[in-house]
Structure 1
Amino acid sequence: MLKVNDLHAFYGKSHVLRGVNMEIMPGEVIALLGRNGVGRSTTAKAIMGEIAPRGEIIFKGEVISGLESHRIAHLGLGYVPESRDIFPAMTVRQNLILGIKNMKAPGKYSVDDMLDMFPNLRARADNPAGVLSGGEKQMLTMCRTLMGDPELIIIDEPTEGLAPKIVQQIGDMIAEIAKTGVSILLVEQKLSIALRIADRVYVMGHGEIVYGGTPDEFKARDDIKKEWLEV
């Protein structure tokens, strides 16, 4: 579904991504692990066209490297950034409606489906989104992305800064999304969430992939954890 070959990216003169290679199959959940600052979020932004990539990015057999972000989204690639961007003056319901890609051909999720998934959002459906808590804003950004009916969704640090109870809810939601057949690239720090959900994991270090394997294989690699994940 998604294949990344020799991906490089720069911030000014800073060479952040140094030949990233990865592949995501249809219906697969991939966890992208690594310390802060190694290039995980930059990888997500490069795939989505938010920063200029060098290398080859192929989605559903089509080269998308260098395409504008809105064109990539319309091809079926969703993105939930770590910034939890919402439209604060608009209601929760209006934010969800904005996520619909084609009003004439609704996707598999409706606004009511999203509100049923998160009762917290239903209780605030007609309130301005700006009054939501951090966890509720994260729920809203994920639900709004799903309204666009993506075939693959990139979720960047969804549990960062959230209370344990909300972290569990977010993890459960991602697991439910995976059950519908949507492929997921999950950028996540919390190993408990990532390893519970993922089919495979990649570990990133110094702007490149340094390890790939199943969660069970990864759990046995104390050397990888020590060198690339422990602080």
Structure 2
Amino acid sequence: MLKLDNVHAFYGKSHVLHGVHFEVRAGEIVALLGRNGSGRSTTVKAIMGMVDGSGAIAWRDQPIMGRKPFEIAHLGIGYVPENRDIFPKLTVHQNLQLGEKRGAKDARWSFDDMYRLFPRLKERQHTEAGVLSGGEQQMLTLCRTLMGDPDLIMIDEPTEGLAPKIVELVAEYLRELKRRGVSVLLVEQKLTIALEVADRCLVMGHGQIVFEGTPAELKANAYIRKEWLEV
């Protein structure tokens, strides 16, 4: 579905990605791992058209490098940024409405689905999003993106700073995506959740992919974990 070939990305004169290659297939969860500064978030932003880049990015064999973010979103790619970007003065339900894909008769996701996945959002549906806890805001951002009915969702650090109970809810959310055939590119630092939910793991270091394999293969590779993941 999604394929990157020799992707380079830049912030001004700063060269961040150095020839990134990988793909995400239909219905699979791919975890993109690495330390802070390794290029993971930049990779997702390059796919979404949010940073300057070169190389080739294809979505369903259609080139998307150089397209605007809203055009890429309309093609069926969802993005959950690390900073959440909720609308603080709108209610939970209104935030979800803004994410809704208009005119989609056969959309996979409904408001009831969102409230079933995260019952806390149902309790808070008439509350302004700006007063939600960090965990509740993360739930809302995940669900708002899903309301757009993407075929691939890219999620940047969804468990950062969350309590263990909320982390488990996020893990169940990811499993539900897989059950419904949605592909996921998961940017994570927590090796535990990645090994638990991912079909394949990619490890980044210095703007390049330094490892690709199954969770079992990553678990067995002490050198990669020590060199590129462990603090």
Q: For residue 129 of structure 1, what is the amino acid of its counterpart? A: A
Within 5 Å, which residues of 2 pair with 1:55-204?
Answer: 55-103=55-103, 105=105, 107-204=107-204
Q: Tell me which stretches of 4 or more aligned residues in structure 1 moved more than 6 Å.
A: none
Following TM superposition, by how much is the alpha carbon of 1:106 offset from its aligned partner in structure 2, in angstroms? 5.5
Deviation at 1:129, TM superposition (A): 0.8
Q: Per-residue deviation at 1:194?
A: 0.5
TM-score, normalization by structure 2: 0.98
Q: SS in structure 2 opposite 1:83?
A: coil
Matched to 1:122, the amino acid is K
RMSD between aligned residues:
0.9
CA contact (8 A) 1:100 1:106 kept: no
Instruction: Give the % identical residues.
Output: 61
**How many Å separate the matches in 2 of 1:64 and 1:105?**
26
2:26 counterpart of 1:26: yes
TM-score by length of 1: 0.98
Answer yes or no: is 1:207 the counterpart of 2:207. yes
Give the letter aligned to residue 26 of structure 2. Answer: P
Report the CA distance between 1:178 and its aligned residue.
1.3
CA distance in 2, matches of 1:105, 1:83: 31
Q: Which consecutive residues of structure 1, in runs of 5 or more, have no partner in the other structure?
A: none
Mean Cα deviation higher: 206-215 or 102-111 = 102-111
What's the CA shift for 1:4?
0.2
Q: State the secondary structure of the residue aligned to 1:21.
A: strand
Q: Give SS of 1:175's match.
A: helix
- What letter matches 2:229 in structure 1? L
CA distance in 2, matches of 1:122, 1:103: 24
Q: Which runs of 5+ in 2 are unaligned?
A: none
| Aligned residue number for residue 224 of structure 2 | 224
Q: Give me the whole-angstrom Cα distance separating, in 2, the residues matched to 1:91 and 1:130.
A: 8
Give 1:104 deviation, angstroms: 5.2
- 8 A contact 1:27–1:182 mirrored in 2: yes
Counterpart of 1:39? 39
Q: Are 2:17 and 2:207, in contact at CA under 8 Å, matched by a contact in 1?
A: yes
Aligned residue pair count: 231
- Cα deviation 1:28-79 (Å, max 9, x = unaligned): 1100000000100000000001112211000011000010000000000000
Contact 1:31/1:201, CA 8 A, preserved across alignment: yes
- Secondary structure of 2:201's match? strand
